[in-house]
Amino acid sequence: MPDNSIDPVSLEIIWSRLTSAVDEAAATFARTSFSSLVRDANDYAVVLTDRQGRSLAQSSMSIPSFISTLPRSVRHFLDVFPMDDLKPGDVLITNDPWHGTGHIHDVTTARPLFRNGKLVAFSAVTSHVPDIGGPVRNSDLGTIFEEGLQIPRLKLVRAGEVDHSIVAMIGKNVRVPAQTMGDIWGQVSAHNMLQDRLDVLLDETAFGIDLIGGEIFSRSERALRRRISDLPDGEYNYVLKNDGFGDPIVIDCTVKIEGDRLSVDYAGSSEQIRDKSINVAETYTFAYTVFGLKSILAPDIENNEGFFAPFKVTAPKGSIVNAQFPVATGARGQIGHLLPVAVLGALRPIFADRKMAEGSGNSVCTMVGQKDGVPFAVSNFLNAGQGATMDRPGYDCVAFPSNLGNLPIETFETDAPVLVRWKRIRQGSGGAGHRRGGNGQSFCFEYVGDAPANCSFLIPRRKVPPKGAEGGENGAPARLIVNGTETAPYLIKSLAKGDVVHVQTAGGGGFGARGK
């Protein structure tokens, strides 16, 4: 064994402790968070990076997108605040879509971690905050300026001293300042815990962070490159079409495998859209592309900078998957959630045993109004059918690739003046085939409030249903029916007493011709 390496026992133990330290910080953050998206849907992440912003470990249960955006955020911070400018006790902040997670609703903070006066690492946290100003969540927005507050890369805390002007500025621009700032301070607690745990860990080991990081990166990268080398070289293309506003939106995905390298290019994809908020910043494109690759290629290999190294993701500037300032990006998930589907589609020819037909992302129904004279706001996630594979039918009503659960009927009726008529599996909506696609759901409620409420919908796959594979049929498209009339979901609707809303989410594609 060369002198500059760590033995396979010590490294395993250090690695395991790094992960548990990050998980401890994550648990601390989650229990103090005001955002139900954080607590119920894990819409947050904690990452530990080295001093160059290279990811060492991330919280285990976090949603996939942040795992690769967070280390990039640290590097974006370093562009503005070089290492020499950073002091112990500093905390950096941003929600810029291009430097953060792709939309302004996630606030990202990072703290440089020091040891014996030297910068050794960063703790970075991002989470969906309870409010960031702007209108009710919907996709019908022109530019980022209409979406809410933008926070550029700033120093929120300078060597332990809070910059109160930033706090005041954020507080003035959001509806629930105590809760939004509460979550940001929760992130800071997580940073502090990580600094403490890292101190203890480094006290007990003879190895420094750079050596540990080098081992983690090189071992992960080697394992992944071996996996890629086993795949046949070649170019694999998949074109996925999705509902547009006029023409369908196209995701044109080409995966190229050369030896131990894998690149994904989105040339040929639709252009960014100027008056809808479904545009995706490159950082989010990278995140969901890598999520798809990891799912099929290496679910067992740890996420860290070494894991990202063999992948290259490119998309034409100004395309919907590399959208440029100042387009709106709030509903980026509508497009971003299609990327793993496209990646899996492209790789079908080389994963005979893991081929999967298309499925659909979730719909969401958001409602705000008054109930018994008191304001209410509810978000109800309605999941759809997933694609079938050669070996099994598609899953009925399951979240993918995001992981947002539904609101129980009893909670929905308690929080909002509604009466649910039914919530059922939409039988027959999965595409037919040798294996049928997963069914979507049929969800119908009546508005029973005296005062009208505003209701907005994000419903994917209404026009272009999930495609079947290898002769399997397409899933049924999603539908929105208000008072018996087929309706487009984009505009905010006012619901009055007696209005009946019926959402049918899409079915997944079937696999293989029927009877075969």
Residue placing its CB nearer to other proteins in the complex, 66 or 236: 66
Site for other proteins in 195-214 (CB under 8 A): 200
Site for other proteins in 116-175 (CB under 8 A): none
Site string for other proteins, 23-62 (x = CB under 8 A): xxx-xx--xx-x-x--xxx---------------------
Residue placing its CB nearer to other proteins in the complex, 96 or 470: 470
Residue 434: name the closest of 507, 510, 505 by CA: 510
Residue placing its CB nearer to other proteins in the complex, 65 or 322: 65
Is the preceding peptide bond at 310 cis, omega within 30 degrees of 0? Answer: no
DSSP 349: G
Contact by Cβ (8 Å): 383, 423: no
Contact by Cβ (8 Å): 455, 501: yes
The residue range among 21-29, 139-147, 205-213, 459-467 that interacts with other proteins, by the rule CB under 8 A, is: 21-29
Residue placing its CB nearer to other proteins in the complex, 314 or 403: 403
Residue 311: name the closest of 212, 211, 227, 215 by CA: 227
- Bridge partner residues of 416 (DSSP): none
Q: Give me 175's structure tokens.
A: 């509806």
Q: Is 225 in the site for other proteins (CB under 8 A)?
A: no
| Torsion of Cα atoms, 114 then 116 then 117 then 121, to 10° | -20
Q: How far is the CB of 259 from other proteins (least distance, A)?
A: 19
Site for other proteins in 339-368 (CB under 8 A): 344, 354, 356
Three-class SS of residue 264?
strand
Q: Is 229 in the site for other proteins (CB under 8 A)?
A: no
HSE on the CB side for 115, CA within 13 Å?
Answer: 19
- CA gap 151, 174 in Å, rounded: 12
Three-class SS of residue 144?
helix
Site for other proteins in 178-197 (CB under 8 A): 178-179, 182, 185-186, 189, 193
Three-class SS of residue 43?
coil
Residue placing its CB nearer to other proteins in the complex, 113 or 290: 290
- Bridge partner residues of 495 (DSSP): 453
Contact by Cβ (8 Å): 115, 88: no
Q: How far is the CB of 429 from other proteins (least distance, A)?
A: 13
Q: How far is the CB of 205 from other proteins (least distance, A)?
A: 12
Size of the site for other proteins (CB under 8 A): 84
Render the burial of 45-76: b for 16+ CB within 10 Å, e for the rest: bbbbbbbbbbbbbbbeebbbbbbbbbbbbbeb
Residue placing its CB nearer to other proteins in the complex, 173 or 406: 406
Residue placing its CB nearer to other proteins in the complex, 269 or 289: 289
Contact by Cβ (8 Å): 200, 115: no
Site for other proteins in 421-440 (CB under 8 A): 421-425
Which DSSP string corresponds to 262-280?
EEEE-TTPPBP-TTSS---
Q: Is 478 in the site for other proteins (CB under 8 A)?
A: no
Contact by Cβ (8 Å): 295, 342: no
Q: How far is the CB of 89 from other proteins (least distance, A)?
A: 18
Site for other proteins in 436-465 (CB under 8 A): 441, 444
Site for other proteins in 309-328 (CB under 8 A): none
DSSP 495: E
The residue range among 50-58, 164-172, 298-306, 469-477 that interacts with other proteins, by the rule CB under 8 A, is: 298-306
Q: Is 471 in the site for other proteins (CB under 8 A)?
A: no
Q: Is 65 in the site for other proteins (CB under 8 A)?
A: no
Q: Is 114 in the site for other proteins (CB under 8 A)?
A: no
Residue placing its CB nearer to other proteins in the complex, 143 or 189: 189
Residue placing its CB nearer to other proteins in the complex, 184 or 432: 184
Site string for other proteins, 371-410 (x = CB under 8 A): -x-x-xx---x-x-----x-xx--xxxxxx--xxxx-xxx
- Work out the number of other CB atoms within 10 angstroms of the CB of residue 424: 13
Residue placing its CB nearer to other proteins in the complex, 279 or 366: 366
CA 163-166-171 angle, to 5 degrees, is 125
Residue placing its CB nearer to other proteins in the complex, 70 or 249: 70
Q: Is 63 in the site for other proteins (CB under 8 A)?
A: yes
Distances (CA, A) of 93 to 108, 109, 110, 502: 6, 4, 7, 41
Q: Is 272 in the site for other proteins (CB under 8 A)?
A: no
Q: Is 514 in the site for other proteins (CB under 8 A)?
A: no
